[in-house]
Amino acid sequence: MLEQYNPGRTLKNLISAFKAIHKKHPTYRLAIVGKTGWLFGDVFEYVLEQKLEENIVFTGYVSNSQLAALYKNAECFIFPSFYEALVCRCLRQCAIAVR
């Protein structure tokens, strides 16, 4: 996740989906990238409730070069939002990945 968290970004759904994937692929880890914002305490609590604290990493803010490295080393890119346009995020990811 990039930028600041808000409830429109459905991280609890992402975490639930990751839990199901993690059962079949226990070596997978989830990196949630970006500043934590308002109501983020609920997300931390949910990770603990799901017993995924060893498998989910909250990076906080990262520089552009760190972000590029994360994109290049990721198996996939997920933008968990029901309300925001995905096109800009995908274009940004593609631009960074080809540098």
SS3 at position 61:
coil
pLDDT given at position 11: 87
- Can you tell me the distance from the alpha carbon of 86 to that of 72, in angstroms, rounded to the nearest whole number? 19
Structure token pair of residue 49: 């409730």
- From first to last of its 99 residues, the chain has per-residue pLDDT tens of 455 555 555 788 899 999 999 999 999 999 988 887 777 888 899 999 999 999 999 998 888 889 888 888 888 878 776 666 656 666 666 666 655
pLDDT given at position 72: 85
